[in-house]
Amino acid sequence: MLPHRIAAITLLLLASSATAHAADPLPEAIAAPGQIVVTTLHAEGAQIYECKAGVDGKPIWSFREPIATLLADGKTVGRHYAGPTWEHSDGSAVAAKVAGNAPGTTANDIPWLKLEVTSRRGSGVLADVTTVQRINTKGGKRDGACDVVGSFLNVPYSADYVFLRKG
C-alpha cells in the first residue's frame, strides 16, 4: 500500500508543479491568448549592429539584423535572419513585424517580442504560423556610442522562438 501512496503523492506534486509553471504568464505585451503552439525552437547566434550617425550626428550603435541557427533537441533545424525571417529545414518560412515587446531579464538582454507574421512560404511546420514570440533572451544588446561610422559589431545572443497559429 505504501508504494501506491508514494506514487500518488509524486503524481500530485508533479501535477501541481506543472500547473504552477503553466500559470506563469508571459508579459501582457507579448501574450497571444487563444493561439496554439506549433513549435518552439531555440536560437543561438548574434545580433549585428552597425555604427551610424545618430540624430545628433554622434556615432551610435544601431541594430542591423539577426543571424542565428535554429535548434530543436540540439539539432540544427533552420536559420533566423534579416526580415526578420525564420526558415525551417523543411522549406517553410515566415517573416514578421514587431507587434509588442517586454524588457529582457537583464540590461544586457534584448527584449522579448511578439511578432505578427506578414508573409509565409512552403507547406512545412511553419506554414500556418500567425504569431512568433521571442522569449528567454540572453545577451544580444548593445547601446551607446561607437567609434567608427560604418563599423560592425556582432553581439552573441540566445533566445527561444515560440511559433503559434490561431486556435
Is the pLDDT assigned to residue 2 strictly greater than 70? no
Q: What is the pLDDT of residues 82-120, one digit of tens each?
A: 999 999 999 999 999 999 999 999 999 999 999 999 999
Mean pLDDT of 1-5: 46
Q: How confident is the model at residue 167 (pLDDT cuts 50, 70, 90)?
A: confident
Residue type present at position 100: G
Mean pLDDT of 69-84: 97
Q: What is the pLDDT of residues 151-166, one digit of tens each?
A: 999 999 999 999 999 9
Residue 90 CA, distance from chain mean position: 20
Mean pLDDT of 115-136: 98
Q: What is the pLDDT of residues 47-57, one digit of tens each?
A: 999 999 999 99
> Higher-confidence residue: 16 or 6?
6
Mean pLDDT of 129-154: 96
Supply the pLDDT for residue 3.
Answer: 47
Q: What angle do CA 18, 24, 30 make, to 5 degrees?
A: 135
User: Which positions ≥6 away from 77 have C-beta within 8 Å?
Assistant: 41, 70, 71, 88, 89
Strands of 73-130, DSSP E: 75-81, 85-88, 93-102, 112-121
